[in-house]
Structure 1
C-alpha cells in the first residue's frame, strides 16, 4: 500500500478524510450551536477534533472545550493539534460529567457507530444545562450522495453484499424519521426540549483523484479496512476509474455532493437526574 495510507487509522483519517469530507462541518456545527465567548462545549465522539477545534476559536479565555472519544488513537492525534482543549477518553453512552455541565453539546459523524444511540442522546441531554443547545450530525442517506452510491453498487457487484454493507455503514442513520425516533426513545421531548428538528445541509466530497478516494476507503477501519487484498484493491481501482468518471473534473479531482442531517434541540426546564 502507498506509504501515505500507512500509519494508524486515526492518522489516515486526519490526513485524508478530514480534508476530503469532515473539515467543512466544524464551523457549520458551531454556528448551528451558537457557540460564543465563555461557553462550555462538549464534543462527543470527537475523533481527531474537527468540531472541538472549531469551537475552541469561539469560546475565548473564559470558555472551555472538552473533546471526548472512546478511541485512544483518535485522541492522540487530536492532542497534537490543540493542547488547550481538554481531551478525554470515554463512551458516549456514559459521559463522565455532572448534570448540566455544558452550554453546548455536539456530536459530528460518530452517532451512527454508537452501540446505544438513544442512550447516548439521553446522556448528552443530561449534561446539557437548561437553555443549552444540542446538535448531532450524521451522513444523509447513501442515495443522496451520488459518488458514494455508485461506489457502493460497484463494491456489491465486484465483491458481494458483505463488503458493500460495510461501506454503507456510515450512512445507516441518514433518515429523518429514524433520528426523531431515537430522540423519542431518549425522552428528549419529555425531558424538556423545544425546537427539536432534523435539517438537511449540503456538503462536498473532494479527493485529488479516484485512486485517492478508493485508497482512503480501503485504509479506513470503519468501512473497508482489512476487507480487500492487493489484487482486489487493484481490481476495484481499475473499475472505479470508469464508474466514477462522471465525478472527475478538469483538474482531476473527484467532487460530488454529500448531504448531512443535523438533529438539533434547545433544552429548557430543570436539569434531569
Structure 2
C-alpha cells in the first residue's frame, strides 16, 4: 500500500496544514538553531535542499547578511508555492529540484543545508554525494534527522493510536520515514559512501513540542503529512475519525488544555 511516491507526496491541502500546524509544533524549535550553525561558518553561497514550506529559509534570510545568496529547493512545487506565499524578509531564489539530481554545477556553494529532509530521499548516499558535488572544497554540509520515534512523544502516540483503528494494517508512515533514519553508524556510512572523507560531527538535540490543545498535534500529523494518504487509502471517510482518536490518545497522556511533549533529533555536520 505504501510507495516512495506516496511517502514524498506533499500536495493538496497538506502544504497549508503543514505550515499552519506542523511548522510551529516541531520544526520552528530546530530552524533557528540550524540557521545559527550555518551563520557560524560565514558562508557566501547557501543551498537549502528539501526546504519544505521555508521555515529554515526564513531564518536564514533573517540572520545571514544581505549579500549572502540563498537558493532554496524542494522536490514538491506545492510546498515551494506555500513557502513563497508566506514570504521571506529578503530575496531568496526558490527552485523545484530533486536532491538526488541537483541542477547546479560542481563546487558552487560553500554551504548545503537540509532540515528533516534526508529521511525522504530514496537513496541517501546519492543525495549526500550530490550535496558534496555542489560544495566547494572546504565547504560544509549540515543536516538534521529525527531520532527514534519513541524519543518523539506526539509522533509516537499518533502512530500507536492508529493501531486501534486499523489493527490489521496500521499506518506506519511516521515510524517508517520521518523517524526511520536515526542510526549514527548508518548515517556516517552513507556519508562515506557519498565520498565525504572527513568524520561527521553528530549531536543529539532535544526540544519541546507545544500546542494549545491535543487536537493540534493530531491534526498536524494525521492531515499535514503523507500519513494522511495512508489513512485515506484505508477508507476515504476515516480521516476525521483517525484524527479524533489520535487527539484522544494525546489528551489521555497530557490532559486537557495545552500539551507539551518531547522531540529529539540528530544534527549532522561534515566538511567537504
Q: TM (normalized to structure 2)?
A: 0.85
Give the unaligned 5+ runs of structure 2.
Answer: 1-10
CA gap of 1:205–1:225, structure 2 versus 1, over 3 A, is farther
> Corresponding residue for 1:51?
56
Deviations 1:218-271 (A, max 9, x none): 21342233614545633662474255433347xx1221111011121122xxxx
Aligned to 1:77: 82
Q: What's the C-alpha RMSD, in Å, of the aligned pairs?
A: 2.3
Q: Is the 8 A contact 1:218 1:226 kept in 2?
A: no
Gap change, CA 1:53 and 1:235, over 3 Å in 2: closer
Matched, 1:182 2:190: yes
1:119 equivalent in alignment to 2:126: yes
Tell me how far apart the structure 1 counterparts of residues 243 and 76 of structure 2 sit (CA, whole Å).
29
Match of 2:7 in 1: none
In the alignment, what sits opposite 2:160? 153
User: SS where residue 97 of structure 1 aligns?
Assistant: coil
Distance 1:256 1:39, change over 3 A: same
**How many angstroms apart in 2 are the aligned matches of 1:255 and 1:7?**
29
Shift of 1:195: 4.4
With over 3 angstroms needed to count, the CA separation of the structure-2 counterparts of 1:221 and 1:187, relative to structure 1, is same
Deviations 1:184-209 (A, max 9, x none): 221212xxxx3412211112222221
Q: CA deviation at 1:174?
A: 1.9
4+ residue runs over 4 A deviation: 35-38, 228-232
In 1, the alpha carbon distance for the partners of 2:25 and 2:246 equals: 21
Q: Give the equivalent residue in structure 1 for 2:218.
A: 214
The answer (yes or no) to whether the contact 2:22–2:217 under 8 Å persists in 1 is no
Give the 3-state SS of the residue equivalent to 1:147 in structure 2: helix
Q: CA deviation at 1:8?
A: 2.3
1:129 alignment counterpart:
136
For the structure 1 residues 203 and 171, does the alpha-carbon distance in structure 2 shift closer, same or farther, using more than 3 Å as the test? same
Structure 2 match to 1:225? 229
Task: Please give the secondary structure, in 1, of the residue aligned with 2:229.
Answer: coil
Cα contact 1:56–1:65 (8 A) shared by 2: yes
Measured in 1, the distance between the counterparts of 2:260 and 2:55 equals 21
Query: Does the Cα contact within 8 Å between 2:171 and 2:227 map onto a contact in 1?
Result: no
**Which of the residues 26, 30, 48 maps onto 1:25?**
30
Q: Is the 8 A contact 1:153 1:164 kept in 2?
A: no
> Structure 1 residues 217 and 61, CA, compared in 2 at 3 Å: closer, same or farther?
closer
Per mean C-alpha deviation after superposition, the further-off stretch among 31-40 and 57-66 is: 31-40
Query: CA 1:135–1:84 in structure 2 vs 1: closer, same or farther (change >3 Å)?
Result: same
Gap runs ≥5 in structure 1: 1-5, 268-273
Number of corresponding residues: 256
